[in-house]
Amino acid sequence: MKKISIAFLLTAVIIGSVFAGPGKEQGGASGSAPHTVTVAGSTSVSPLMELLTAEYKNVRGNVSFNISATGSGDGIKAVPAETAEIGMSSRELSPAEIGTGIDEHLIAIDGIAVIVNSGNPVTNLTIDQIRDIYTGAVTNWNQVGGRAGKIAVVSREPGSGTRGAFEEIVKFQDKLVLGAIEFDGTGAVKAEISRNVDAIGYISLGSVDNSVKTLSVGGVSATTANVVNGSYKIARPFLLLTKKGRTLNSETTAFLDWILTDAGQAIVKTSWISVK
């Protein structure tokens, strides 16, 4: 009887190990799964957000990020709808938008560069000339000191934070010239300017590269230093948005706090203007 009992117990242990083993492996001695922070909104803020999140993952490993860059308008809507924990906006919010229950977190200041093709001889425009081009009062480059050529006006899509800020600062809201070419995203604007010698557009100063040429505005170069000293006037805030009253995941809160530390703002300073 004693031998039978021992055999029975051994059999039970073996069977139990077979069924328990896989479950134990899947259960994760590796620890809890990382939290995924959902981020949505401005295509202009997105390059900075990509840099910030990449560095933050080195600092704190148990977090990941899902970033959807489709425009400031989408980020502003996503926060109260709770389809994203963090929204990105490259323009000031209207009182009505804030009234939907949004908290704003200023993380950087960005200039908006007016850009042309590298083959365009024009190097400087005034604010008034830029407004005249974008409203259709000026239609040829020879009217602003360039060679003859019909100006191809390039703009961002409706709802873009860059477009909203640019139109507000240059003062031509809702007066964009008929026939302007509208693009979704900074990359598409740069691509069009780089291939079209008669085109003019605008992008985040932090997204400028050697594929396009920046224009001085009123004799002032589009540089970070000139945005900081206030002489370059076409500038706007970079905002992160959260839902007022919503309890965020602790990882999300820690990330937002980290952005405003010296380490986070050092990344901002690489191409944008620190808020500290």
b (16+ CB within 10 A) / e for 4-33: eeeeeeeeeeeeeeeeeeeeeeeeeeeeee
Mean pLDDT for 77-91 is 97
pLDDT surpassing 70 at residue 173: yes
pLDDT at 107: 98
pLDDT surpassing 80 at residue 272: yes
pLDDT at 31: 54
pLDDT surpassing 90 at residue 15: no
Helix (H/G/I), strand (E/B), else coil: 16: helix
b (16+ CB within 10 A) / e for 97-133: beeeebebbebbbbbbbbbbbeebebeebeeebbbbb
Mean pLDDT for 126-131 is 98
C-alpha pair distances (Å), 84 with each of 14, 57, 95, 123, 143 = 48, 19, 21, 41, 47
pLDDT surpassing 70 at residue 19: no
Query: Which has more pLDDT, 10 or 122?
Result: 122
Q: What are phi and psi of 49, to 5 degrees?
A: -60, -40
CA-CA-CA-CA torsion for 194, 198, 202, 204, nearest 10 degrees?
A: 20
Q: How far apart are CA 243 and CA 240, in angstroms?
A: 11
How does pLDDT run across 181-212, given as a tens digit for each residue? Answer: 999 999 999 999 999 999 999 999 989 999 99
Helix (H/G/I), strand (E/B), else coil: 150: strand
Q: How far apart are CA 265 and CA 109, in angstroms?
A: 11
Q: What are phi and psi of 235, to 5 degrees?
A: -140, 160
pLDDT at 62: 84
Mean pLDDT for 75-102 is 96
Mean pLDDT for 253-276 is 95
Level-2 CATH architecture, domain 111-235: 3-Layer(aba) Sandwich (3.40)
pLDDT surpassing 50 at residue 29: no
Fold of the 35-110+238-268 domain: D-Maltodextrin-Binding Protein; domain 2 (3.40.190)
99 CA to centre of own chain:
22
Residues of the chain with pLDDT > 90, as a percent, come to: 83
Confidence class of residue 165 from pLDDT cuts 50, 70 and 90?
A: very high
Q: What are phi and psi of 5, to 5 degrees?
A: -65, -45
Q: How far apart are CA 163 and CA 209, in angstroms?
A: 19
pLDDT surpassing 60 at residue 13: no
Helix (H/G/I), strand (E/B), else coil: 235: strand
Q: What are phi and psi of 254, to 5 degrees?
A: -65, -40
Q: Which residues of the chain does CATH 3.40.190.10 include?
A: 35-110+238-268, 111-235
